[in-house]
Amino acid sequence: MKTVQCASGLSRRTPSGALFSSNSQSDASCSSNTQSGATGFSNTQSDATFSSNSKSDATGSSNTQSGAPFSSNSQSNATDSSNSKSDATGSSNSQSNVTGSSNSKSDATGFSYTKSDATGSSKSKSDATGSSNSQSDATGSSNSKSDPTGSSNSKSNATGSSKSQSDATGSSNSKSDATGSSNSQSNATGSSNTQSDATVSSYSKSNATGSSNTQSGATGSSNSKSDATGSSNSKSDPTGSSNSKSNATGSSKSQSDATGSSNSKSDATGSSNSQSNVTGSSNSKSDATGFSYTKSDATGSSKSKSDATGSSNSQSDATGSSNSKSDPTGSSNSKSNATGSSKSQSDATGSSNSKSDATGSSNSQSNATGSSNTQSDATVSSYCKSNATGSSNTQSGATGSSNSKSDYIFSDDMCEFHSHKSRQMSENSNSQKATVGVNKSNNQQGAPSGGVFKSSSSGATVDVYKNQ
């Protein structure tokens, strides 16, 4: 029997759409580690509230970094991939349009797995081939616009605001760490095959003192992670591959439209907004289909490693609120850790992965339509362990066909369950008292295809029992 600190608000999970799954996990608002090596795009990793190490080696991508006490605007349009990172004390805006294709392999198709030990450090390493590097550190105001066919390099130091726009045929990388606000937008056209933790799954992790809302349904694959100290909004619609990282103390906004994949990470003390839209195809292999798994080890560190030739990773760390929306046909990865509120919405043709560690509230929504043939440990089962002071809401719905094999009882130290097709769904399970004993029908039953599972609990402590 595991004892979990439960949310003082409302903890609610509604997985629907048996083909895909939505996971909601809550961890401490600290750090996340992400390593990715890609050809044609650049993946960015950052540490949540503490330190952020980012290394990117790209041959044909466009990298944009801006650190500004005020505001930093960066826009890049690339035919290959678009990575955007901005470090700003004020606000950082980054927009990139990418047209290209990206191929990748992932561990799960409709499976979502999350474990994070927050309160650590965040490391980021990305190796990319063909990129356009643009860095801007603004104390004043710096405006930079580049429309290259090859690569675009731009660096500006300003005390006021820093604006950087680059249109490249290669790729565009933009990273923004802002104390104020960071806005990043990228548009891409191409196909995206992603290697990530899940391909047709919706993944949401939130360690929130506030609330965590997660809704997912994907046709492609959409992964979104945001760790925000302020507020982080992330929306990705990529056709190619778009990488965007922003760390902001104020607000960070990141939007990327790519045909391949869209990577967006923002660490913001204020608010971080990241939007990416993806149109394309996403092929991946994963361990589970329609399986939802969540574990949170608060006050630890969160590590994420993805090796993709062209996947869409979007991560934003914010202390305030984090909003993440991704409508990809390819794949979009978004993770958000927020001290305030974190909202993540992803509409993907492949899968949608959304992770948010928020002290405030984390909202994640993803819609998907497609088919998934996979062998997984569980089929449409929902598993949740959360240490939250706020509330956690999770809703997932998907349209498509899924062939999967499920014959595994998940791990030991987490809320365990068996995924049986014959198991009944629990329409509504509400428990509100100081110490809540969660029965087997609460948060732990496998959901048949199209089933709806709703569970809410509020109190100081929740005892989660193992299903036998």
- Separation CA 463–CA 38 (nearest Å): 42
pLDDT of res. 423: 31
Query: Exposure of 299 by Cβ count < 10 A (0-12 exposed, 13-18 middle, 19+ buried)?
Result: middle
pLDDT of res. 185: 35
Which two structure tokens, joined as six digits, stand for 145? 């616009």
pLDDT of res. 388: 33
Q: Residue type for 468, please? A: Q
- Domain ranges in the chain? 2-464
Asked if 391 contacts 12 with a C-beta cutoff of 8 angstroms, the reply is yes
pLDDT digits (tens, 9 = 90+) for 271-287: 333 333 333 333 333 33
pLDDT of res. 15: 32
- Alpha carbon distances (Å) from 344 to 54, 247, 298, 353: 23, 17, 20, 10
Determine if the pTM surpasses 0.95.
no
C-alpha angle with apex 75: 170 to 102, nearest 5 degrees?
35
pLDDT of res. 162: 34
Q: Which residues contact 41 (CB under 8 A, 6 or more apart)?
A: 58, 61, 80, 81, 82, 83, 102, 128, 131, 171, 173, 240, 241, 242, 243, 260, 261, 263, 308, 310, 311
Asked if 459 contacts 434 with a C-beta cutoff of 8 angstroms, the reply is yes
pLDDT, mean of each 10-residue run, the chain (468 residues): 32 31 33 32 31 32 35 36 37 37 34 35 33 33 33 33 35 36 35 32 35 34 36 35 36 36 38 37 34 35 32 36 36 37 36 37 35 30 34 35 30 31 30 30 34 33 34
- Do β-strands 11-15 and 455-458 pair in parallel, antiparallel, or remain unpaired? antiparallel
Which residues is 263 bridged to in the sheet? 243, 333
